[in-house]
């Protein structure tokens, strides 16, 4: 039987090896950038992550400046609005810090205290924060305590100087006093058991035009029916700056006893928030008071409301009270849950599961369902005479609204998904190079074969 024709022998000898070599080179060229992008996109695991270590009870703001509080006003360190500071508060500590304020700006100075995860605390332990003028006159007092859960967790209290009030007016020096509240005669905390602090001063400018100075007189205080949607998984962050965006819906997470998780819900002017949280059922017998705590803070970390619920293996929801729509004039009201809902921005929902839950019901994790409803009609806000500090703290953007739906934190997104995108681009490039290489080689091969192929 006759062998293959001469022209086919030419294809097999010259064309096929050339095609294979060209394709291999094309794939190497295409996939090399993908590998490089993967190395750039995927962050290296930190030593703690590699070792499986707990990231800690609280994520402090990246780049927070260290600050040391003074025992008196003479040595008080300066705090600049718009910057975040990190320090410590000793047992029975009373520490002073200094601010330089203008006459027209309202100043807000939230202080978050973070005890060690293994600290023993009482219900009345916590912090007290006050802002004072240079003469020692108090502008405001606020306190935050651990409460019935008897569980160490981040607690936040706000000092503020409101422009336009009878006290603490004018530009000049003001002092922030942070006091640690330890139960009298209690040995709950060791003498060297210092708590960490995060301080994040902010300012709100005056209005461009003076408006009403009375609180809204009527708003619907009825509680809407709870959402019944199927829950969607969304884990929270471990600090204010790491809070996970959240929108309307039913959300599910899992908490271990002692853990605290932060979420943020963007609220425009005219919008209002309803929220509740519930613990899933678990085996076991007993009772833990204040097992689950749900707290709400405004965009400058001012306390709005909180709710807690005990646990017997089953529990009803911890629900925040009905809140008014976000309005500038709410600041003229008396109740904290109204006066604190005074500007647009991110409102923070904070979940904490008491460490004492583990003693009766085991180490968990426990399923927590968070129901969030956003109502009201959005409208434009008042015109300010200047800009808030930090910029954007009292603003809701389109990006914020999108993040609330997707859960994106704005820190660069999910590295895995980024790699998929890069890989997709690289794969497409490889395919194009493959086709291009095939075309070039095939054309060259066609010319060679044509030269060898016998004519009829």
Cβ atoms of 373 and 224 within 8 Å: the answer is: yes
Contact present, 303 and 297 (Cβ < 8 Å): yes
Residues 43, 36: Cα–Cα separation, whole Å: 13
Q: What is the mean pLDDT of each run of 10 residues along the chain (456 residues)?
A: 52 50 47 39 35 65 97 96 97 96 96 95 96 94 95 97 89 97 63 88 94 84 88 97 97 97 98 96 92 98 97 93 96 94 98 96 96 95 95 95 84 37 41 42 43 38
Contact 396, 344 (CB under 8 A): yes
pLDDT of residue 189: 52
Instruction: Output the pLDDT for position 427.
Output: 44
How high is the pLDDT of residue 222?
87
Tell me the CA distances in angstroms from 355 to 33, 117, 122, 182, 254, one per residue in order. Answer: 48, 9, 13, 19, 14
| pLDDT computed for residue 32 by the predictor | 44
pLDDT value of residue 164: 83
Give the per-residue pLDDT at 239: 98
CA distances in angstroms from 440 to 23, 97, 278, 363, listed in the order given? 11, 73, 65, 64
Alpha helices for 297-348 (secondary structure H):
336-339
> What is the pTM for the complete model shown?
0.79
Rounded distance between C-alpha atoms, residue 197 and residue 95, angstroms: 11
């Amino acid at each position: 039987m006759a062998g293959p024709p001469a022209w086919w022998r030419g294809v097999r000898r010259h064309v096929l090896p050339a095609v294979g070599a060209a394709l291999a080179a094309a794939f190497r060229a295409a996939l090399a950038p993908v590998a490089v992008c993967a190395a750039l996109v995927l962050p290296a695991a930190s030593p703690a992550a590699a070792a499986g270590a707990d990231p800690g009870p609280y994520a402090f703001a990246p780049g927070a400046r260290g600050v040391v509080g003074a025992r008196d006003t003479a040595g008080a360190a300066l705090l600049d609005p718009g910057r975040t500071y990190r320090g410590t508060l000793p047992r029975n500590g009373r520490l002073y810090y200094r601010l330089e304020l203008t006459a027209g700006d309202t100043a807000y100075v939230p202080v978050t205290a973070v005890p060690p995860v293994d600290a023993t605390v009482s219900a009345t332990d916590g912090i007290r924060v006050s802002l004072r003028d240079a003469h020692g006159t108090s502008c405001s007092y606020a306190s935050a305590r651990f409460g019935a859960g008897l569980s160490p967790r981040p607690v936040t209290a706000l000092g503020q100087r409101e422009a336009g009030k009878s006290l603490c007016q004018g530009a000049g020096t003001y002092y922030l006093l942070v006091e640690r509240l330890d139960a009298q005669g209690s040995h709950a905390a060791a003498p060297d058991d210092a708590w960490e602090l995060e301080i994040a001063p902010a300012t709100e400018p005056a209005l461009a035009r003076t408006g009403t100075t009375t609180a809204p007189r009527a708003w619907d205080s009825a509680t809407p029916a709870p959402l019944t949607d199927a829950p969607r998984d969304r884990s929270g962050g471990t600090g204010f700056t790491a809070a996970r965006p959240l929108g309307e819906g039913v959300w599910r997470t899992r908490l271990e006893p002692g853990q605290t998780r932060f979420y943020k819900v963007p609220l425009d002017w005219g919008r209002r928030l309803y929220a509740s949280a519930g613990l899933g059922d678990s085996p076991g017998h007993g009772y833990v008071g204040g097992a689950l705590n749900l707290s709400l803070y405004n965009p400058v970390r001012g306390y709005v409301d909180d709710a807690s619920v005990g646990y017997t293996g089953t529990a009803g929801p911890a629900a925040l009270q009905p809140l008014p729509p976000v309005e500038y004039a709410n600041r003229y009201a008396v109740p904290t849950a109204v006066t604190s809902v005074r500007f647009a921005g991110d409102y923070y929902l904070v979940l904490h599961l008491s460490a004492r839950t583990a003693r009766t019901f085991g180490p968990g994790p426990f399923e927590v369902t968070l129901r969030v409803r956003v109502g009201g009609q959005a409208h434009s806000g008042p015109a300010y005479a200047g800009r808030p500090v930090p910029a954007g703290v009292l603003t809701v953007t389109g990006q914020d609204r999108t993040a609330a739906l997707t859960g994106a934190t704005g820190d660069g997104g999910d590295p895995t998904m980024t790699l998929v995108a890069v890989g997709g681009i690289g794969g497409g490039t490889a395919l194009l190079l493959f086709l291009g290489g095939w075309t070039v080689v095939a054309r060259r091969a066609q010319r060679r074969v044509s030269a060898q192929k016998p004519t009829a």
